[in-house]
């Protein structure tokens, strides 16, 4: 992990997922975090162009209890997993921290971002609270108030990891669960497709982060995986559908759930 200059006004643990090669993304996020006077650390495990034997060695060295299904996950997706898990591992190494905010590097931070991660750092109602999501299947009736914030229950699976606050208790439970075989990308796993160690999740509304329309459109995983849902064409169609009136009508139903 590398660190930004620390600011003692905000001691909450904040980790930016950012690969060494993603300089433009790093600079964009550094400007926003600096404007918020937020200290942060950076982690990025890049396995995109690494040989399979080296990937296996990295997994064994860092997280020997985990096995990743190569028929379902690409090196890029495994690297993404290891980046997030490294942040959780660091959280557990710091006894004074109760939670960790983890954000990806293609985001725009909303004005209440700093206040949101501060408020969510001490909550225990959820294992993980999303700071924002492109998934719109979120109940508008089932919600929990935390420090003046509204955290809503998802209806089904949430499918991204733009940013979230994860509790120390969940990180400890995940790592203590023993040997596991993982076949889902981390965004799908955390969003509801994990098995015995999937977290109890909530979604912050209004969101504290949103995807940068330019940086977010250039996937760092898509070119390195065979998954159809990571392809440029699929993503383009998904974005077009999400912006359509049909989508707006469909998701309007969630206000009653």
Q: Can you give the pLDDT at residue 164?
A: 98
Q: What is the DSSP string of 14-33?
A: EEEE--TT-HHHHHHHHHHH
Q: Tell which residue, 150, 134, 131, 132, has the closest CA to residue 142.
A: 150
Whole-angstrom distance, CA of residue 226 vs CA of residue 248: 30
Higher pLDDT, 105 or 11: 105
Mean pLDDT of 176-203: 93
Mean pLDDT of 199-224: 85
Task: Report helix, strand or coil for 116.
Answer: helix
Higher pLDDT, 234 or 147: 147
Are 99 and 128 in contact by the 8 Å Cβ rule? The answer is no
Q: Where are the domains of the chain?
A: 2-256
**Is the pLDDT reported for residue 2 higher than 60?**
no
Q: How distant, in Å, are the alpha carbons of 5, 15, 164, 226 from that of 43?
A: 15, 7, 15, 25
Task: Report helix, strand or coil for 11.
Answer: coil
Please say whether the dihedral angle defined by the alpha carbons of residues 68, 73, 79 and 82, taken in this order, is positive or negative. Answer: negative
Q: Can you give the pLDDT at residue 236?
A: 67
- Based on its alpha-carbon atoms, the radius of gyration of the chain, rounded to whole angstroms, reads 18
pLDDT band at 250 (very low <50, low <70, confident <90, very high): low
Are 62 and 88 in contact by the 8 Å Cβ rule? The answer is no
Cα end-to-end span (Å), the chain: 41
Which tokens in the block code for residue 199?
């977290």
Which of 70-74, 134-138, 174-178, 215-219 holds the top average pLDDT?
174-178
Q: Can you give the pLDDT at residue 217?
A: 76
Other CB atoms within a 10 A radius of the CB of residue 237 amount to 11
Q: Tell me: domain 2-256, CATH 3.90.550, correct?
A: yes
């Amino acid at each position: 992990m590398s660190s930004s200059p620390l600011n003692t006004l905000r001691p909450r643990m904040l980790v930016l997922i950012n690969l060494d090669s993603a300089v433009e993304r790093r600079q964009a996020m550094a400007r926003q975090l600096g404007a918020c006077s937020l200290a942060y650390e950076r982690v990025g495990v890049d396995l995109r162009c690494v040989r399979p034997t080296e990937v296996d060695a990295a997994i064994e060295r860092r997280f020997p209890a985990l096995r990743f299904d190569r028929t379902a996950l690409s090196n890029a997706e495994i690297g993404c997993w290891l980046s997030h898990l490294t942040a959780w591992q660091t959280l557990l190494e710091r006894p004074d921290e109760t939670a960790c905010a983890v954000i990806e590097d293609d985001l725009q931070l909303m004005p209440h971002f700093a206040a949101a991660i501060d408020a969510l750092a001490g909550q225990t109602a959820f294992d993980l609270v999303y700071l924002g999501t492109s998934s719109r299947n979120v109940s508008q009736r089932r919600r929990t108030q935390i420090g003046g914030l509204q955290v809503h229950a998802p209806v089904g699976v949430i499918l991204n990891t733009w940013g979230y606050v994860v509790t120390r208790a969940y990180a400890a439970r995940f790592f203590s669960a023993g040997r596991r075989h993982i076949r889902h990308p981390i965004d799908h796993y955390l969003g509801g497709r994990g098995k015995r160690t999937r977290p109890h999740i909530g979604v912050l509304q209004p969101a504290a982060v949103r995807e940068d329309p330019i940086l977010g459109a250039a996937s760092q995983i898509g070119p390195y995986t065979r998954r159809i849902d990571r392809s440029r064409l699929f993503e383009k169609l998904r974005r077009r559908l999400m912006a359509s009136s049909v989508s707006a009508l469909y998701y309007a139903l969630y206000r009653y759930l």
